Amino acid sequence: MKPLSPGSTIGVLGGGQLGRMLALAAARLGFDVVVMTPRADDSAGRVAARTIVAPYDDDAALAALAEVADVVTFEFENVPAEVVGKLQALGVETAPGPRALAVAQDRVEEKTFLNAVGAPTVGFAVIDGPADILPALDKLGAPALLKTRREGYDGKGQTWIESHADAHAAFDRIGRRPAILEARADFVREVSVIAARGRDGEVACYPLAENHHEGGVLRRSSAPTKASAATVEQAETIAARILTRLDYVGVMGVEMFELKSGRLLVNEFAPRVHNTGHWTLDGCEVDQFEQHVRAVAGWPLGPTTPLAHVEMENLLGEEADAWARLAAEPEARLWLYGKGEARAGRKMGHVNRLRPLKG
Ligand code: AMP
């Protein structure tokens, strides 16, 4: 594909805050964004040039999107992988392609792929029914984490199993769905790397972020975080393997556990821009959203050099009501997502607090 000229149209499947920030970045480079989302009042539609409101599997809507878009990307990894295949069949380029989505959507496929490309993970076992849990617990040890294979995010669809006696109840708690049992990662901290791959195969990684979750939801990221050269090299090697083996185009977030030994285990990867990369909006020469737009448009990747140290804090639910106080903080950059209803735990915005890089 030739690099897209400014004035071209980028289609985005999904209408959340990630789509919104992609649309803002795309607009700055002269592109128009068409968002396709099932919900009319979504965050991204408010800043996109056009919104197609339809379910992702609506054939007429997909045809309309393919008609206007020069390339289609997504901001939401639970878009059915077949939809991306359909768009390709309609003759429109998609980036990333359907394989990255299909692998990331199933935790068993994902871990199997990761191990095959030399990206280590915790031990795991496939759970098709409660009878599979006891032998898996014997193999992996207790406590272990039972997660649905598909459609889990932000800590949803997962539950700890403390002992054999809890196995059946745990399977009920996740809705008796096909699952994976994961050994507990005995980590000292959680880190992530935001990595990009261009159409020419070039890979660029941002500095590592250290992440803090509460109840499975990201609360804060701090970046660039202190890490040894060996840790950074491991993270970048892992990211490059994943991107290259998927023939990936675009930005990806790779979440990892750092063990006491310094070894990194991959928890999961997200085939899209990522919450732990929001710090780049104010902390880097080119942020993750512009980087993704550059990659999918076939432009050269931009520099990932950090310009400041950033503490990123998610604003959940009513926390975003403090916008006036936050806006008055001199070192804070406020990002609000234009969502109407501040339901408890809903990601309404984030704040990046900047300080100079040391040395
Ligand atoms: P996930 O939905 O897989 O991103 O998991 C959400 C959070 O649960 C992670 O960020 C970790 O804090 C925790 N977690 C997930 N998997 C494991 C594991 N195998 N061992 C320990 N903690 C985990």
Q: What residue ranges do the domains of the chain occupy?
A: 9-94, 123-183, 187-355
Tell me the pLDDT band of 155, cut-offs 50, 70 and 90.
low
Tell me the pLDDT band of 359, cut-offs 50, 70 and 90.
low
Beta bridge partners of 196: 204, 251
Per-residue CA distances from 138 to 106, 171, 184, 198 (Å) = 23, 16, 13, 44
The reported pLDDT for the residue numbered 358 is 79
The reported pLDDT for the residue numbered 1 is 78
The reported pLDDT for the residue numbered 215 is 85
pTM of the model: 0.96
- Asked whether 18 and 74 are in contact (CB, 8 A), the reply is no
pLDDT(283) > 90:
yes
Residue nearest to atom 2 of ligand 1 (CA): 155
Residue nearest to atom 13 of ligand 1 (CA): 216
Mean pLDDT of 193-204: 97
pLDDT(154) > 70:
no
- What are the tens digits of pLDDT across the range 94-112? 999 989 999 999 999 999 9
CATH topology assigned to domain 9-94: Rossmann fold (3.40.50)
The reported pLDDT for the residue numbered 38 is 94
Largest CA distance in the chain: 61
Counting ligand 1 atoms within 8 A of each CB, the residue from 107, 127, 218, 267 with the most, and so the one to mutate, is: 267
Mean pLDDT of 204-226: 96
The reported pLDDT for the residue numbered 340 is 87
Domain 187-355 has CATH 3.40.50.800: no
Tell me the pLDDT band of 342, cut-offs 50, 70 and 90.
confident
CA of 239 to the centre of ligand 1 (A): 19
64-82 as b/e: b if 16+ CB within 10 A: bbbeebbbbbbbbbebbbe
What does pLDDT average to over the chain? 95
DSSP 306: B
CA of 214 to the centre of ligand 1 (A): 10
Q: Give the binding-site residues of ligand 1, using a 6 Å CB cut-off.
A: 122, 145, 152, 155, 182, 184-185, 190, 213, 216, 267-268
Atom of ligand 1 nearest to the CA of 154: 2
- What are the tens digits of pLDDT across the range 26-67? 999 999 999 999 998 899 999 999 999 999 999 999 999 999
pLDDT(136) > 80:
yes
Tell me the pLDDT band of 153, cut-offs 50, 70 and 90.
low
Which amino acid belongs to residue 138?
Answer: D
Per-residue CA distances from 355 to 23, 188, 190, 288 (Å) = 27, 25, 22, 19
Atom of ligand 1 nearest to the CA of 107: 3
Mean pLDDT of 130-148: 95
The reported pLDDT for the residue numbered 78 is 86
Atom of ligand 1 nearest to the CA of 182: 19
CA of 213 to the centre of ligand 1 (A): 9
CA of 222 to the centre of ligand 1 (A): 18
E strands in 38-76: 50-53, 71-74
The reported pLDDT for the residue numbered 182 is 98
CA of 267 to the centre of ligand 1 (A): 7
Atom of ligand 1 nearest to the CA of 122: 19
CA of 215 to the centre of ligand 1 (A): 10
Domain 123-183 has CATH 3.30.1490.20: yes
CA of 80 to the centre of ligand 1 (A): 23
Residue nearest to atom 15 of ligand 1 (CA): 267
The reported pLDDT for the residue numbered 41 is 85
CA of 110 to the centre of ligand 1 (A): 14
Mean pLDDT of 248-253: 98
Structure tokens that stand for 93 in this block: 């380029």
Tell me the pLDDT band of 253, cut-offs 50, 70 and 90.
very high
